[in-house]
Amino acid sequence: MNTFFAFLSAESILLAPVIEEPVKAIGVTFLAIRYPQVVDTKRKGLVLGGFAGLGFAFTENLYYATVPGTNIIARALLPVPMHVMASGIAGFGLVYFAQRRIALGASSSKFNLKAIGSLWTVAMVIHGQYNFLSYFGTAGSLLGLMVTCFVYYRLGRSLPENLRLSSLPGPVRLLRSTVQVRILKGLTSQSNRVSSETEDSRESIAFCINCGREISSDEHFCDSCGASQLYSQSVHRT
């Protein structure tokens, strides 16, 4: 058993993902803080996060090109897409941050850091599992890339567009839900329900046609000035 683990590097499996994922996201994090509207949708988070991972992987491969015996083609085909997808998952956390920042302004005390941390931890875990499996050669790297693709696809399809309205579970439950999908479906329905309730409450608000006071849309007379609202309702029905 000791011989089996002798060739494994704790730095590559544990330390590298913890350092590299936040480093890759520095630029997108800056955008989420200063210009949150640039990172306010899932698609934007995936694209910007993916480009950050692509830039990091390109720079990393330039270094490995100087190392004798490195298979540059294999590194271009396997680690590069892994970096892109891991950074895309971390980008979901920045989408949540950007959406909350737009909704709440600079009151960061109301941000749910667990939601951001869960998505970033998932990105680090799939990065680490790829590094671990890569010690078993090309077959291991392919398996690690398949796992990364699976998690990336499930999260991309299952997470709701309005992440700020969701309460994401911890990283362990979030990873488990990529297989079961039950938690994520619940989050999507919860997000849709909250959005629907918000729209319903918005539609139930109206204003008096005479004095401008806020009233319910089904009121026929204004409580403040007594003006009839029937004309306004007939116009809306038309």
Mean pLDDT comparison of 12-16, 28-32, 75-79, highest-scoring range: 28-32
Strand partners of residue 215? 206
- Residues 173, 122: contact at Cβ < 8 Å? no
Which residue type does 47 have?
Answer: V
Enter the pTM of the model.
0.70
Q: What is the mean pLDDT of the chain?
A: 78
| Number of Cβ atoms within 10 Å of the Cβ of 193 | 11
Tell me the CA distances in angstroms from 31 to 37, 44, 82, 83, 216, one per residue in order: 9, 11, 23, 20, 40
Tell me the CA distances in angstroms from 235 to 54, 218, 232, 238, one per residue in order: 55, 14, 5, 5
